[in-house]
Structure 1
Amino acid sequence: MTTAARPTWAPAKGGNEQGGTRIFGPSQKFSSRDIASHTTLKPRKEGQDTQDEVQKRNLRDELEDRERRHFSSRDDRDRRKGTSSSHLLLEGAKRDTEDRIFPRPDDADDSDVDVKSDESDDDDDEEDDTEALLAELERMRKEKAEEKLRKERQQQEEELKVKEAELVRGNPLLNNNTSAHIVKKRWDEDVVFKNQTRGETKATKRFINDTIRSDFHRKFLHKYMK
């Protein structure tokens, strides 16, 4: 939006005063937008730390009281943590001493040789199971890779067949369906008034740098000024 149509206090004038040489005199008129709208600052209300309230407060005592409460709460927290950790340590030491004094009895039916043999058998079974699982996993991976290669080859063959069919269909010499390749007529092929000026000879235009002797002027005189 332009400001050309808006009224101004000092509109542009032509004549001797044009070009910025006009001398402006003191004017008593002024715009309403030039008046100061906010002449006073917004004061604080009661309860918003006014100047009188801040002067009446003792900030040093408040800071010391706040520090005292902080340190006292931290000491209580540390004291609670210390009692809990010491209680856990005492319980752990008590359990160790009980295990040393009263050892846990072993089963009388079990012997050292039997335990070792059972452990070795379990280890052998676990190793055999692990080898079987690894072999099965490797076989599954090979099958997946072979299946993927087979699908890729099949897809490439199908794409090649589709391309060959499109090429054969687009070549009119190889396509037996000649009706599909008949050239269509233009929309103005059968109109009545067509090529009306085919036998007329076109006059060559020439340029003459004289309006009186030009071809247009001669034709105009011959037509209207006989």
Structure 2
Amino acid sequence: MTTAHRPTFDPARGKDAQRGPAYHQRLLPAHTQLKVRKPGQGGDADNAPRDLRAELLRAEAVHFAKIKGEPIPEAEGEDEEDPEAKRRRVLEESRDVDADSENDEEDSSEDDSDDDEDETAELQRELEKIKRERAEKREQEEREKAAAEEEEREHDIALGNPLLNPKSDFHVKRRWDDDVIFKNQARGTEDKGKKKEFVNDLLRSDFHKRFMRLVESSRFLQPKQS
């Protein structure tokens, strides 16, 4: 007798987990840190005065220092430094970096000009070489084409006239009924007049009759045994 209809008063209980008690995800502590406004989000940090020129010059100085391979370390106590003194210091650093970069640019421009001249001369030589190779290839193709045309012309002269070429074949290579309008009109006329019908008897079928005629003819062809 089934017990599916009976209620379960003592349901199955899961075993204790080996790693300790389990908690639901929503029971875990959340939102444990207080969010504050960052610069650019309309908080108190946006109301503080900023020296944008000094920041720009500082960024440029860091950029040129990275190009030269000498990274500028961050100045200690930068926040406590007077904005005017900071501005003057950044201007002096940027002026020195600009002077060094101008000298480097002059030297590099001279080197670049020499390199450009060498590259231009090399490209000119390569271009002349390519043009010369193309001209030689074009002349060779023209010579081959002229030789092929001359050979074909001589072949036509030698074999084109059938009177001068006794080996030529004068037979017309076509069928006698090529110019007939209607073709294959007699196909299937050999069975004309024969009545085809199905006979539901293996002994009276056409196949059995042909087979018996073949057997009878083979009897007469067999040699007599002495």
Q: What TM-score does the superposition give when structure 1 sets the normalisation length?
A: 0.32
Q: What TM-score does the superposition give when structure 2 sets the normalisation length?
A: 0.32
Larger RCO (CA under 8 A, 6+ residues apart): 2
